[in-house]
């Protein structure tokens, strides 16, 4: 039996009631597969032909490098789906090998059945589209940041973008650590740059509020980066 209550907590079924999920699942074909601890669920490179959702237990995604060493990438726990970003597209192969951390039950349905779900429920469709779109947008933003060579450039760009044209101050929503990750730098290096820019009179920092004192100079930082 499936715990539909649990499934409603899965990102794909967000905003759908337990009963609706149950109704939808009556209309499509799916299977429940069981795996025991350390059993391999899928191998990296295999084409993604099914949508897999972890119903109980947890699995880990691992990459095998060229020398055969195994590197753990992430844990996926119930009720999360696997590799949703690879169900479609040109390179729809599992990027990682997935192994069971413990006794695991996985709901699996062919992509064709998932397509039916998407057409039956506009909520599921919206959830899925939002999910992969957000992912693409996140990646795109991240790429853009990496194109600035210096940390100063990245910071200047970020602040100007957040502030927009009208405003002269930005309320930081993320911790320095999160920003540092976004920029691909270390946290102390980021803090140092913030400090330097403050000393030079480009910005002024008060708690989580950053005031842009010299937008022109900040621009020039971008153009030189």
Partner DNA sequence: AGGAAGATGTATCAATTGTTACAAAACAAT
Partner DNA sequence: ATTGTTTTGTAACAATTGATACATCTTCCT
Residues that bind its own copies (CB under 8 A): 45, 65-67, 69, 71, 85-92, 95, 115, 118-119, 122, 125-126, 129-130, 132-137, 139-143, 146-147, 149, 160, 164-165, 184, 215-216, 218-220, 222-223
**Partner that binds at residue 130, options DNA, its own copies, none, CB closer than 5 to 8 Å by kind:** its own copies
CA distance 95 to 47: 10
Closest CB to DNA among residues 137, 174? 174
Closest CB to its own copies among residues 5, 134? 134
Q: Residue 48 Cβ, how far from its own copies at the closest point, in Å?
A: 10
Which residues between 135 and 164 bind DNA (CB under 7 A)? 149-152
**Partner that binds at residue 118, options its own copies, DNA, none, CB closer than 5 to 8 Å by kind:** its own copies
- Give phi and psi for 99, each to the nearest 5: -130, 145
Distances (CA, A) of 75 to 81, 102, 136, 198, 218: 11, 12, 21, 40, 40
CA angle 156, 157, 159 (to 5 degrees): 65
CA distance 70 to 77: 20
Distances (CA, A) of 115 to 4, 25, 40, 119: 20, 13, 26, 6
Binding site for DNA (CB under 7 A): 149-152, 172, 175-177, 184-189, 191-195, 205, 207-208
């Amino acid at each position: 039996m499936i715990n539909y209550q649990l499934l409603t907590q899965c990102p794909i079924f967000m905003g759908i009631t337990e009963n609706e999920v149950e109704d939808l699942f009556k209309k499509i074909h799916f299977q429940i597969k069981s795996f025991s601890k350390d059993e391999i669920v899928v191998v990296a490179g295999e084409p993604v032909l099914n949508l897999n959702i972890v119903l109980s237990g947890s699995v880990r995604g691992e990459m095998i490098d060229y020398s055969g060493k195994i590197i753990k990438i992430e844990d996926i726990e119930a009720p999360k789906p696997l590799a949703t970003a690879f169900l479609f597209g040109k390179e729809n192969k599992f990027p990682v090998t997935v192994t069971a951390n413990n006794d695991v039950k996985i709901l699996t349905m062919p992509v064709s059945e998932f397509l039916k779900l998407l057409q039956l429920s506009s909520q599921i469709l919206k959830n899925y589209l939002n999910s992969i779109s957000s992912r693409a947008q996140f990646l795109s933003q991240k790429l853009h940041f990496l194109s600035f060579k210096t940390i100063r450039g990245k910071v200047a760009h970020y602040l100007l973008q957040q502030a927009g044209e009208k405003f002269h101050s930005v309320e930081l929503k993320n911790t320095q650590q999160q920003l540092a990750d976004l920029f691909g730098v270390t946290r102390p290096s980021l803090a140092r740059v913030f400090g330097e820019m403050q000393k030079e009179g480009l910005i002024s920092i008060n708690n989580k509020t950053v005031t842009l004192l010299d937008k022109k100079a900040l621009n020039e930082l971008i153009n030189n980066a």
